[in-house]
């Protein structure tokens, strides 16, 4: 506090000195003689070049509104207006704060207005300034789209000169961030207008045009499908991109061209087995992951590659053996390295900044690589310290890293072998459980999905997870607003209930509560409904369990079954429900809940005559359980069902063309004969 007080007067005096000279520049903008004003602007231009302090001073002193006024005034000479645009462009080159101030002074509409002038030099100066403003992260890109006449006008200016080409494409490349932006640009013929610029003699123009295509095509089927049919100087666009990926081209160009082809491929515009993907794009992206590339390039390369091969196992296989990719990625975890800390502080800072990005990119790529092929998963888990890295990734502070780590874990958890070995050895369930306690939804979805796999009956992690109080957690997930989380919660419970002890089953029913269970049975999401039925089916297995659960919740369960069988549901849902009914029919006491419910028996009869074999089979199975000989009271049940006409139906079904159904009906008929 004391130090500050002592310092303050000194700083003020320095500032006042600086502002005195700066004020002089601003004052000259108000000179009554236009010639003096012009000279003042030119002097100002020379004074601000490369001088951030001067720029800040002029902005504070209010130069911007005056410059904008002069720029917009039709009475100003063209030369003056141009010089004003140049000075504003120079001010924009400074700090982010400068840009904010310029945007606050409504520089964007003023400059866009300026583009309507016919003078090319003035237009270029305005565009240059607009470019600088728009590529700044602090400028809201939406400002480009507020006036609907702007985009078509920019399209019409595009081919005016080398500079208009460069600045406009650069603006588009930076301001196309949403599907709506893509559509606006697409509807104004961005593709036709920009495609010829890909073979421009200017490196800068080519590069910016290429960037435009990468942002236009990203997750956009319409654009991607159009791009494949575009010819540039008689050559297919994809071939132009392939040439831009040649190894002697600038890295930025190779990477961006690979992105374009990746997006086109993911949109279905190019097949994954096309040579331009398999022999060009994929190897190019693998090269981008190499140690020789800059950290930023390695991040983008890995992310793009992960995206490219996500849905295609063949690409995953090829990538897995290309240029030692799997072990190359291990290097992504070595930042900041011990060397960088020693050699210089700047390098350490740089490495630290990119360390998170590198790690999450590597996890993403591993996740994509291992999503289908068991051998690749094995290769990944055998990479040095891989499981440890995932485990520590799960508890990193950066959400991006945590998400990517859990994605990677999820991908590897599809392997039975890994679940049995490395997952158990490294107790990955612990950090996973911790992650589930408190995380954003997207992390939760991945984590709970992984947990589902860890709860499969052959997974040795199942026991310790059960002991850690996971049931409450999963039950709370089933109450989430997100369908994906509800599915994962109920799915995990379903896996957990499979061949479980009575104790576990009772605990699940208790924790979930029948109310929630029935709420889930009427869930709008079919997946949730299916998994809930699956849970019920798993709960209602082995006779003692069936009787116990039905004795306490029989009424509600029967109600729910009735409701589903009467409702508009898919075959799969009805089949699952009939299977539950068949399980109930297998109970000792539970059977009576069906036998005493004539309405239910009519329903079973109906499904035995259904046109779908699966439903017929499930319904027949149910009847077969009810009339099973060895059990008490089987005679009465057989009689009752015979009276209701089931024997005739069974007899008919023994003639069914489906061998399974035919067998099942014959077995049931034998119960009567015995």
CB of 388 to another protein, least distance (A): 21
Helices within 498-542 (DSSP H only): 502-512, 514-521, 526-539
H or E, element range at 236: strand 235-236
Nearest approach in angstroms of CB 264 to another protein is 20
**Which residue, 278 or 348, has its beta carbon nearer to another protein?**
278
The H or E element that residue 640 is part of is helix 634-643
Strand partners, 235: 232
Residue 155 CA, chain-centre distance (Å), reads 32
Minimum distance from residue 323 beta carbon to another protein (Å): 4
Nearer to another protein by Cβ, of 77 and 383: the residue is 383
CB 328 within 8 A of CB 289: yes
- Kindly give the pairing relationship between strand 231-232 and strand 235-236: antiparallel
Minimum CB–partner distance for residue 370 and another protein (Å): 16
Q: Please name every residue paired with 231 in a beta bridge, in sequence order, or none if there are none.
A: 236
Cα–Cα nearest to 449, from 485, 478, 481: 485
**Residue 109 vs 283, nearer CB to another protein:** 283
| Rounded distance between C-alpha atoms, residue 581 and residue 597, angstroms | 12
How far apart are CB 256 and another protein at their closest, in Å?
17
Q: Which two tokens stand for residue 189?
A: 């013929």
We find the least distance from the C-beta atom of residue 363 to another protein, in angstroms, to be: 21
Tell the smallest beta-carbon distance from residue 314 to another protein (Å): 12
Three-class DSSP category at 83: helix
Q: Which is nearer to another protein, 123 or 265 (CB)?
A: 265
Give the chain's radius of gyration (CA, Å).
35
Q: State the nearest-atom distance from the C-beta of 335 to another protein, in Å.
A: 21
Judged by beta carbon, residue 49 or residue 279, the one nearer another protein is 279
Using the Cα atoms of residue 177, residue 180, residue 183 and residue 184 in order, give the sign of their dihedral: negative
Least distance to another protein, CB of residue 282, Å? 8
Which residues partner with 232 through β-bridges? 235
Residues that bind another protein (CB under 8 A): 246-248, 279-280, 283, 318, 321-324, 328
Half-sphere exposure of 465 (CA within 13 A, CB side): 31
DSSP-based three-state secondary structure for 366: helix
Select 280 or 402, whichever has its Cβ closest to another protein.
280
Q: Phi and psi (nearest 5°) for 231? A: -110, 135
Our CB check for another protein shows the closer of 247 and 503 to be 247
CB of 321 to another protein, least distance (A): 5
Nearer to another protein, 362 or 471 (CB): 362
Task: Kindly state the smallest distance separating residue 287's Cβ from another protein, in Å.
Answer: 9
If the CB atoms of residues 37 and 386 are measured against another protein, the closer one turns out to be 386
Number of H helices, E strands in the chain: 44, 2
Query: Looking up tokens 């609907």, which residue turns up?
Result: 148
Q: What is d(CA 638, CA 655) in angstroms, rounded to the nearest whole number?
A: 21
Given the complex with another protein, which of 8 and 279 has the nearer CB atom? 279
Q: How far is the CB of 320 from another protein (least distance, A)?
A: 9
* CB burial of residue 659 (10 Å; 0-12, 13-18, 19+): exposed
Closest to 301 (Cα-Cα) out of 240, 353, 254, 247: 254
- What element of type H or E holds 306? helix 295-309
Residue whose CB is less far from another protein, 293 or 434: 293
With contact defined as beta carbons under 8 Å apart, do 168 and 158 qualify? yes
H or E segment at 56?
Answer: helix 52-60
> Looking at beta carbons only, is 160 or 317 nearer to another protein?
317
Q: For residue 481, give every residue at least 6 positions away whose Cβ sits within 8 Å of its Cβ, in sequence order, or none.
A: none
């Amino acid at each position: 506090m004391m130090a500050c007080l002592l310092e303050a007067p000194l700083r003020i005096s320095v500032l006042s000195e600086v502002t005195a000279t700066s004020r002089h520049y601003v004052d000259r903008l108000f000179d009554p003689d236009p010639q003096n004003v012009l000279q003042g602007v030119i002097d100002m231009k020379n004074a601000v070049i490369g001088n951030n302090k001067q720029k800040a001073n002029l902005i504070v002193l209010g130069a911007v509104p005056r410059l904008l006024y002069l720029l917009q005034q039709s009475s100003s000479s063209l030369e003056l207006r141009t010089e004003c645009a140049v000075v504003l462009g120079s001010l924009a080159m400074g700090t982010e704060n400068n840009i904010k101030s310029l945007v606050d002074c409504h520089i964007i509409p003023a400059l866009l207005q300026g583009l309507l002038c016919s003078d090319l030099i003035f237009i270029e100066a305005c565009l240059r300034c607009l470019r600088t403003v728009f590529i700044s992260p602090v400028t809201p890109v939406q400002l480009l789209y507020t006036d609907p006449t702007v985009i078509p006008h920019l399209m019409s200016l595009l081919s005016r000169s080398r500079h208009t080409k460069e600045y406009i494409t650069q603006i588009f490349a930076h301001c196309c961030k949403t599907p709506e932006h893509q559509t606006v640009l697409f509807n104004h013929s961005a593709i036709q207008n920009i495609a010829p610029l890909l073979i421009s003699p200017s490196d800068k123009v080519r590069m910016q045009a290429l960037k435009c295509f990468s942002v236009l095509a990203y997750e956009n089927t319409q654009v991607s499908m159009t791009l494949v049919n575009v010819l540039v100087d008689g050559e297919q666009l994809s071939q132009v991109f392939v040439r831009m990926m040649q190894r002697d081209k600038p890295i930025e160009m190779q990477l961006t061209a690979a992105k374009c082809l990746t997006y086109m491929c993911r949109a279905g515009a190019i097949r994954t087995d096309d040579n331009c993907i398999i022999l060009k794009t994929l190897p190019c992206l693998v090269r981008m992951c190499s140690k020789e590339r800059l950290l930023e390039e390695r991040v983008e390369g890995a992310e793009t590659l992960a995206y490219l091969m996500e849905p295609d196992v063949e690409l995953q296989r090829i990538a897995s053996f290309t240029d030692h990719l799997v072990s190359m990625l291990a290097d992504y975890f070595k930042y900041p390295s011990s060397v960088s800390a020693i050699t210089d502080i700047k390098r350490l800072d740089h490495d630290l900044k990119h360390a998170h990005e590198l790690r999450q990119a590597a996890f993403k790529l591993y996740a994509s690589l291992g999503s289908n092929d068991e051998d690749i998963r094995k290769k990944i888990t055998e990479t040095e310290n891989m499981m440890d890295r995932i485990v520590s990734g799960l508890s990193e502070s950066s959400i991006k890293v945590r998400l990517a780590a859990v994605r990677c874990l999820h991908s590897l958890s599809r392997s039975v072998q890994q679940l049995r070995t490395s997952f158990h050895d490294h107790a990955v369930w612990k950090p996973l459980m911790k992650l589930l306690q408190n995380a954003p939804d997207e992390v939760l979805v991945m984590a709970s999905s992984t947990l589902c796999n860890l709860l499969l009956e052959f997974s040795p992690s199942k026991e310790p997870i059960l002991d850690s109080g996971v049931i409450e957690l999963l039950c709370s997930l089933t109450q989430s607003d997100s369908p994906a989380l509800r599915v994962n919660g109920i799915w995990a419970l379903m896996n957990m209930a499979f061949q479980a002890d009575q104790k576990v089953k009772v605990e699940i029913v208790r924790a979930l509560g029948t109310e929630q269970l029935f709420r889930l049975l009427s869930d709008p999401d079919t997946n949730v409904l299916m998994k809930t039925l699956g849970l019920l089916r798993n709960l209602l297995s082995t006779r003692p369990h069936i009787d116990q659960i039905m004795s306490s919740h029989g009424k509600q369960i029967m109600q729910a079954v009735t409701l589903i069988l009467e409702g508009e549901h898919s075959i799969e849902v009805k089949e699952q429900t009939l299977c539950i009914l068949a399980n109930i029919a297998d109970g000792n006491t539970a059977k009576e809940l069906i036998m005493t419910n004539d309405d239910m028996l009519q329903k079973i009869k109906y499904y035995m005559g259904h046109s779908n074999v699966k439903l017929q089979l499930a319904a027949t199975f149910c009847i077969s359980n009810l009339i099973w000989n060895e059990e008490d009271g089987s005679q009465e049940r057989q009689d009752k069902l015979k009276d209701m006409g089931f024997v005739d139906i069974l007899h008919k079904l023994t003639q069914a063309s489906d061998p399974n159904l035919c067998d099942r009906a014959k077995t049931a008929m034998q119960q009567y004969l015995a």
